[in-house]
């Protein structure tokens, strides 16, 4: 049996003021799955994402990602875990404005000590694949929202992560750009990339995810398989463009 | 509480680091300024008051009685520019011996006295203050000067001058230091000794040295040619009186200015930083109805509250420090009680607060002018485009990415970076200057000793002032009698020369002479043997060659108005000796009123002059301790004792200067470090979201620390590179000024203290200071939870 990429067991999170953000949440994500975590504002979905990414620790319970007990890692260990196993895409892109697109993308690789030439080659392939190679020397501020999010995705894929976490990836985009990103996530999923997508957009969840987990008041209210979304096995052969992304 | 105060209070509470830094910077500036200002006022005020009250003489001129008559000299008082004159008074330079009621330790004798025949203490110039007894009214009566260096004379004691018995009937002080004692005019004629005339002048213009020189030239030109044999201006007298406190002024001024510069810089940076990083807050405040004036006011109060606290603490510290220094200086003025002038406190406190307010106002004005809509929109992101070129270059450097990210950072906030460079620069200037000052003081201390390996001290009578420390640079200001050695000089010298390991030896004898142009006695160190290897430092000229030549400290040359190459006449035991000055020596002995010469120079007057100290150079490889032990055994019959080293002890004044320098430097370094810390805190807060992103991408805490530290590395280097030359320049400016205050000129070796080995650590001090200042915020950045950082607006 294949080992799950994410194994959250009985995780609770209470903040310093005693307010509970998550209550006894358990969740398993298998390799190649695309899971949408859906819920209203303040439901705890971003907290769950932070626990999985090692950005925060649960008050109780365990979080295992790619075979690593994330909840026991110290700050340095969590950083190494993220750079090796996780790719993150944020709602507001979180690109560094004073770095060019190319330099933003190579950053995660350079933090691991990868040589600059190797990192640039990999980044060039990703930018080419994602259709933004012509902006390699531009600064993020000059790109459209959709282009910026593509850059963020390229950066997230730089170290070939086991898990791609996307936090409201279309939340700051217009509908056309949102559709671009939606297509991109779908393509990645077809390539076999495990994805956890946090959103409150039901349409995005249905379009990109094979499974939808609804969170309400810090608890999992439902966990259902989507019929509309394509599964990697059901998908057509990977397109040439996304194949290099893996 | 008004809205304004509430906003200011919350601002102070939110920015504890900045608040602390403003308070400390203000405290530092005020402490140094109060110290400097108080000493300046205290050192000038008593003399100035006494001089004005006593109608002090702007110029005292000594004339040769053989070359001018009283009538001829009276003509000099009618020269244009002379507003008042006293004299001519008959003078006699005599060698007194103790009489009834005056017991000196065995082997001690009194210094020569310049006695002036004056019928009364008052007069149009130099009104002498009678401190005890009454004025001399007849023959055999003497009024002793309280400043006579030979002994502390009291009413009723007697002196013998030749066959004449003089009874001390009064003790007085002349603010112009015109005599060692006063007798009746008739008595001055009959006493014998070296006869002369003294004339005291006041001029319309005498405020500067150039004025006095012109006045001196005018009056001496009116006298018969060659009659004027010496003179002393009131500025020299004043310098002698104020030197103990005046010495502190140049370097306290330097530290005060550095402190003020730091205050302005830090206050400006803190308020500008608060405005820059609080742009969104300002926008919200304006959106809810605060006027631009209210916003400016809130930031102004935010800066003034900690500045006021720091200023008050600084004033207290300054008063305590000044009190400690002034208590020592009180002795200079006798009965005067010195204290910190309240107006100095008030002026420094008000000036500092005004400076802080002005700086804060300029920075806060930007907040007032900020358009509400822009403030709300812009938040606190640096303007796009800034520092991109630097980033492009940095990322291509073959360095780890966290480091290159940091290296480019200063260019994104050029104004803040400039402020940080300035803080590091001032800190580096302080350290470099303090190092130079300390080294110079150390070399001054060393110059007071000879380079001899061993010093042999003759057996002295109990209570006699004596060695060690009787070397050429000895700082003892009071030659309290001339100690004659009681040991067997010949036996001592024979024992030294016979001791295995002796390479060279010379002896020194100490005596006193009178010199035209000086009041009181001139301390003479007479050398027996070749002393050229003794390491005595010269400011100019050359060491003396044989009899008839001497080197003299700056104080002697100034007092007698002589220069290298001139010949001066000195009076030794009633004999007039002519001595050619071959060099200017660095010496603080007897406040610079000293001569260093060959013993043969004085042979005519003192044929039996014998050494009381011997300086020994050892052969290479000789153990000084073993040599000293063996020599002490050999010297035992003579009563002399040998000590390793060149003699001389640590000066209390230099210790105080060293301590004060160290304290002020530490304060400046602390403030500079806090200035960097403050700027890095602001910068780290501004970019906490960027750091959060990097951490989310896998940047470890150690890499985060590296990024923050790298962001100040270039700043530290720039501040260090710029600060070291400024510090060296400051040392070259201040140390000679301090020496000038003490009536000294310094040999180049004392000033040139920075070698390559010293400069390198000083240059690295800048980066070190910057890194230390950034360490705390770097740790804070590394510890900030990534999720929190990502949520930070």
Q: Which residue has the higher pLDDT, A240 or B132?
A: B132
The class level of CATH for A6-243 reads alpha beta
A47: nearest CA partner in chain B: B787
Using an 8 Å Cβ cutoff, are B327 and B37 in contact? no
Q: Which residue has the higher pLDDT, A30 or B293?
A: A30
Q: Which residue has the higher pLDDT, B704 or B485?
A: B704
Measured between CB atoms, does B702 come within 8 Å of chain A?
yes
| Out of B386, B400, B698, closest to residue A79 by CB | B698
In the prediction, which pLDDT does B332 show? 40
> Do A112 and B698 make contact, defined as CB atoms within 8 angstroms?
yes
**Of B336-345, B712-721, B762-771, which gets the smallest average pLDDT?**
B336-345
d(CA B259, CA B265): 10
d(CA B463, CA B40): 37
> Do B388 and A139 make contact, defined as CB atoms within 8 angstroms?
yes
Q: Which residue has the higher pLDDT, B485 or B23?
A: B23
d(CA B211, CA B221): 15
Q: Is B291 buried (19+), middle (13-18) or exposed (0-12) by CB count in 10 A?
A: exposed
> CA of A108 to nearest chain B CA: how many angstroms apart?
6
Of residues B702, B606, B675, B680, the one with CA closest to residue B112:
B606
- Stated length of chain A: 246
> Do A96 and B689 make contact, defined as CB atoms within 8 angstroms?
no
> CA of A94 to nearest chain B CA: how many angstroms apart?
6
> Do B391 and A110 make contact, defined as CB atoms within 8 angstroms?
no
Mean residue pLDDT across chain B? 77
Q: What is the DSSP letter of B541?
A: E
A112: nearest CA partner in chain B: B698
Using an 8 Å Cβ cutoff, are A26 and A75 in contact? no
Q: Which residue has the higher pLDDT, B75 or A228?
A: B75
Using an 8 Å Cβ cutoff, are B653 and B329 in contact? no
> Cis before residue A151, ω within 30 degrees of 0?
no
Q: Which residue has the higher pLDDT, A138 or B95?
A: A138
B706: nearest CA partner in chain A: A111
> Do A155 and B700 make contact, defined as CB atoms within 8 angstroms?
no
Write down the H helix ranges in B478-536: 489-498
| Over residues B146-150, mean pLDDT | 73
d(CA B351, CA B250): 20
Which two tokens mark A114?
């990868």
d(CA B321, CA B330): 15
**Of A90-99, B18-27, B380-389, which gets the smallest average pLDDT?**
B380-389
Using a CB–CB cut-off of 8 Å, the residues of A that contact B are 50, 53, 55-56, 75-76, 79-80, 82-84, 88, 90, 94-100, 103, 107-108, 110-113, 139, 141, 155, 159
Of residues A67, A66, A54, A75, the one with CA closest to residue A11:
A54
Per DSSP bridges, beta strands B181-183 and B113-117 are parallel
- A-chain residues near B692 (CB < 8 A): 94
Mutation site for A-interface testing, chosen from B391, B397, B401 by largest number of A Cβ within 10 Å: B401
Q: What angle do CA B148, B151, B157 make, to 5 degrees?
A: 105
pLDDT in tens, B621-666: 888 888 888 888 888 777 778 887 655 555 556 666 677 777 777 8
Query: Which positions ≥6 away from B181 have C-beta within 8 Å?
Result: B113, B114, B115, B116, B142, B143, B144, B145, B148, B153
> CA of A111 to nearest chain B CA: how many angstroms apart?
6
In the prediction, which pLDDT does B426 show? 84
Give the 3-state secondary structure of residue A211.
strand
- Give the model's confidence band at B563: pLDDT under 50 very low, under 70 low, under 90 confident, else very high: confident
> Do B787 and A112 make contact, defined as CB atoms within 8 angstroms?
no
d(CA B108, CA B103): 10
- Give the model's confidence band at B710: pLDDT under 50 very low, under 70 low, under 90 confident, else very high: very high
**HSE of B168 in the Cβ direction (CA atoms, 13 Å)?**
27
| Out of A50, A56, A111, closest to residue B698 by CB | A111
Measured between CB atoms, does B395 come within 8 Å of chain A?
yes
pLDDT in tens, B30-58: 887 787 777 666 656 667 777 777 788 88
B397: nearest CA partner in chain A: A116
Give the DSSP H/E element, type plus range, for residue A48: helix A45-53
Helix B3-14 crosses helix B292-329 at what angle (to 10 degrees)? 60
- A-chain residues near B413 (CB < 8 A): none
Query: Does B157 have pLDDT greater than 50?
Result: yes
| pLDDT (tens place) for every residue of chain A, 246 residues total | 578 999 999 999 998 778 888 999 999 999 999 999 999 888 999 889 989 998 888 999 999 999 999 999 988 888 889 888 999 888 888 888 778 899 889 988 888 888 888 999 999 999 998 889 999 999 888 888 889 888 998 999 999 999 999 988 888 788 888 888 888 889 889 989 999 999 888 888 888 899 999 999 999 999 998 865 545 444 333 333 344 444
Query: Which positions ≥6 away from B474 have C-beta within 8 Å?
Result: B448, B587, B588, B589, B648
Q: Which residue has the higher pLDDT, B277 or B2?
A: B277
**Of A107-111, B475-479, B600-604, B681-685, which gets the smallest average pLDDT?**
B475-479
> Do A79 and B700 make contact, defined as CB atoms within 8 angstroms?
yes
In the prediction, which pLDDT does B478 show? 32
Give the 3-state secondary structure of residue B141.
strand
Mutation site for A-interface testing, chosen from B379, B388, B391, B696 by largest number of A Cβ within 10 Å: B696
- Give the model's confidence band at B28: pLDDT under 50 very low, under 70 low, under 90 confident, else very high: confident
Measured between CB atoms, does B785 come within 8 Å of chain A?
yes
Measured between CB atoms, does B6 come within 8 Å of chain A?
no
Buried b (16+ CB within 10 A) or exposed e, B523-555: bbbbbbbebeebbbbbbbbebbeebbbbbbbbb
Of residues B706, B728, B721, B708, the one with CA closest to residue B764:
B721
Distances (CA, A) of B542 to A116, A157, B236, B347: 67, 81, 25, 49
Rounded to 5 degrees, φ, ψ at B132 are: -155, 150
> Do B787 and A159 make contact, defined as CB atoms within 8 angstroms?
no
Query: Which positions ≥6 away from A111 have C-beta within 8 Å?
Result: A83, B401, B402, B694, B697, B698, B699, B700, B703
d(CA B90, CA B231): 15
> Do B392 and A100 make contact, defined as CB atoms within 8 angstroms?
yes
């Amino acid at each position: 049996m294949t080992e799950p990429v994410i194994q959250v067991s009985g995780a609770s999170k209470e903040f310093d003021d005693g307010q509970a953000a998550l209550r006894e949440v358990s969740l398993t994500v298998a390799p190649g799955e695309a899971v949408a975590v859906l819920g209203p504002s303040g439901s705890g979905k971003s907290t769950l994402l932070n626990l999985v990414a090692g950005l925060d620790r649960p008050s109780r319970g365990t979080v295992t990602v790619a075979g690593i007990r994330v909840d026991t890692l110290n700050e340095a260990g969590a950083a190494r875990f993220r750079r090796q196993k996780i790719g993150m895409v944020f709602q507001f892109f979180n690109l560094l404005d004073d770095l060019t697109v190319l330099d933003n993308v190579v950053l995660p690789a350079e933090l691991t000590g990868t040589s600059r030439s190797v990192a640039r080659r990999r980044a060039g392939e990703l930018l080419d694949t994602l259709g933004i190679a012509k902006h390699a020397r531009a600064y993020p501020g000059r790109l459209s929202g959709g282009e910026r999010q593509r850059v963020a995705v390229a950066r997230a894929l730089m170290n070939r992560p086991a898990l791609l976490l996307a936090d409201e990836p279309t939340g700051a985009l217009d509908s056309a750009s949102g559709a671009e990103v939606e297509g991109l996530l779908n393509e990645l999923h077809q390539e076999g990339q495990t994805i956890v997508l946090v959103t409150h957009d039901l349409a995005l969840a249905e379009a990109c995810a094979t499974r939808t987990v609804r969170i309400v008041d810090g608890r999992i209210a439902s966990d259902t398989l989507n019929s509309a979304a394509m599964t990697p096995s059901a998908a057509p052969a990977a397109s040439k463009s996304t194949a290099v992304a893996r | 509480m008004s809205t304004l105060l509430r906003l200011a209070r919350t601002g102070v509470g939110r920015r504890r680091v900045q608040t602390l830094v403003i308070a400390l910077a203000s405290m530092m500036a005020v402490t140094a300024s109060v110290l400097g200002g108080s000493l300046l006022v205290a050192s000038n005020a008593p003399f100035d008051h006494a001089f004005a009250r006593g109608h002090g003489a702007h110029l005292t001129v000594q004339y040769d009685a053989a070359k001018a008559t009283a009538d001829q000299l009276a003509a000099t008082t009618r020269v244009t520019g002379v507003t008042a004159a006293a004299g001519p008074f008959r003078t006699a330079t005599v060698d007194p011996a103790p009489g009834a009621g005056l017991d000196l330790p065995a082997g001690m004798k009194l210094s020569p006295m310049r006695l002036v025949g004056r019928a009364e203490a008052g007069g149009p110039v130099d009104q002498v203050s009678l401190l005890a007894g009454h004025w001399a009214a007849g023959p055999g009566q003497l009024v002793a000067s309280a400043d006579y260096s030979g002994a502390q004379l009291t009413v009723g004691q007697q002196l013998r001058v030749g066959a004449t018995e003089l009874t001390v009937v009064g003790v007085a002080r002349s603010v112009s230091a015109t005599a060692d004692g006063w007798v009746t005019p008739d008595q001055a004629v009959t006493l014998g000794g070296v006869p002369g005339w003294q004339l005291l002048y006041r001029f319309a213009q005498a405020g500067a040295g150039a004025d006095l020189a012109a006045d001196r030239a005018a009056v001496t030109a009116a006298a018969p040619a060659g009659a004027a044999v010496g003179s002393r201006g009131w500025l020299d007298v004043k310098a002698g009186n104020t030197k103990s406190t005046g010495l502190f002024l140049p370097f306290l001024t330097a530290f005060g200015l550095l402190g003020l510069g730091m205050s302005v810089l830090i206050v400006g940076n803190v308020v500008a930083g608060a405005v820059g990083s609080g742009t969104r807050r300002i926008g919200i405040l304006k959106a809810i109805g605060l006027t631009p004036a209210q916003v400016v006011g809130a930031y102004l109060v935010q800066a003034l509250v900690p500045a006021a606290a720091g200023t008050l603490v600084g004033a207290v510290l300054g008063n305590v420090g000044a009190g400690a220094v002034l208590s020592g200086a009180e002795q200079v003025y006798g009965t005067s009680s010195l204290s910190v002038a309240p107006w100095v406190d008030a002026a420094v406190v008000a000036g500092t607060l005004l400076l802080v307010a002005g700086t804060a106002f300029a920075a806060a004005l930007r907040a007032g002018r900020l358009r509400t809509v822009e403030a709300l929109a812009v938040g606190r992101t640096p303007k796009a485009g800034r520092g991109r070129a630097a980033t492009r270059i940095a990322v291509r450097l073959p360095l780890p990415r966290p480091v290159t990210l940091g290296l480019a950072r200063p260019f994104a906030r050029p104004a803040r970076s400039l402020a940080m460079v300035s803080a590091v620069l001032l800190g580096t200037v302080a350290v470099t200057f303090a190092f130079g000052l300390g080294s110079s003081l150390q070399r001054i201390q060393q110059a007071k000793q000879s380079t001899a390996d061993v010093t042999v001290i003759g057996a002295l009578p109990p209570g006699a002032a004596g060695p060690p420390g009787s070397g050429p640079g000895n700082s003892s200001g009071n030659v309290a009698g001339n100690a004659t050695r009681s040991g067997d000089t010949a036996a001592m010298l024979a024992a030294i020369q016979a001791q295995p390991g002796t390479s060279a030896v010379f002896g020194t004898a100490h005596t006193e002479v009178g010199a035209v142009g000086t009041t009181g006695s001139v301390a003479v160190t007479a050398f027996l043997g070749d002393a050229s290897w003794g390491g005595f430092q010269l400011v100019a000229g050359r060491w003396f060659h044989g009899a008839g030549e001497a080197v003299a400290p700056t104080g002697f040359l100034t007092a007698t108005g002589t220069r290298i190459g001139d010949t001066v006449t000195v009076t030794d035991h009633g004999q007039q000796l002519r001595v050619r000055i071959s060099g200017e020596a660095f010496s603080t002995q007897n406040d610079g009123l000293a001569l260093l010469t060959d013993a043969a120079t004085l042979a005519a007057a003192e044929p039996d002059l014998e050494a009381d100290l011997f300086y020994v150079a050892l052969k290479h490889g000789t153990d000084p301790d073993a040599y000293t032990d063996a020599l002490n055994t050999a010297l035992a019959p003579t009563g002399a004792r040998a000590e390793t080293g060149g003699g001389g002890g640590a000066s209390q004044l230099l210790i105080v200067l060293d301590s004060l320098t160290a304290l002020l430097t530490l304060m400046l370094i602390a403030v500079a470090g806090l200035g960097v810390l403050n700027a890095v805190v602001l910068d780290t807060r501004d970019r906490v979201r960027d750091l959060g992103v990097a951490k989310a991408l896998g940047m470890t805490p150690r890499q985060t620390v590296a990024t923050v530290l790298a962001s100040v590395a270039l700043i530290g280097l720039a501040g260090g590179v710029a600060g070291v030359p400024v510090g060296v320049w400051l040392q070259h400016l201040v140390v000679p000024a301090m020496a000038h205050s003490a009536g000294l000129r310094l040999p180049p070796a004392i000033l040139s203290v920075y070698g390559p080995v010293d400069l390198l650590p000083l240059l690295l001090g800048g980066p070190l200071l910057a890194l230390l200042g950034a360490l705390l915020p770097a740790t804070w950045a590394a510890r900030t939870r990534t999720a929190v950082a990502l949520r930070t607006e």
